[in-house]
Structure 1
């Protein structure tokens, strides 16, 4: 059930990404939004993999492997400092300001 929700959210983010790529926004804001959406999609893909790995491990009776969990990269941390609302607006919140 959770995996279905994650896939749905991923599909929505991919749609937003396509819209962002074809938008007529300021190039700098456009690239920041694209990078953030790509980061969110990557995080969801990781969560889906973790759920699949966890379900596979539970089915075989073993604990989930720590190797399947990717540590957060510094790139993800940097892109997470710029947040966009889910409504698709281009309001930028700079947490370092």
Structure 2
């Protein structure tokens, strides 16, 4: 079972993560939505497509663009559609 933890809270937990390029992608149903805020930030990956981001807010502390996902991934990344990965101080263990 993998967990994503920030500021003392478990923000995601699942035994159905997918590992890609050293990142654990959590299925959408595995996140605690109360901690996620949509961000306007986007980036592009040549093989996965356009990524969208979330800010994470726990106890009035905000970790900007700390999670990302692919709402419309390219064909080779279709299996991670809407799955969420973390960085920027989020501990995944």
Q: Normalising by structure 2, what TM-score?
A: 0.23
From the two aligned structures, give the one with the greater helix fraction: 1
| TM-score calculated relative to the size of structure 1 | 0.23
Q: Bigger radius of gyration, 1 or 2?
A: 1
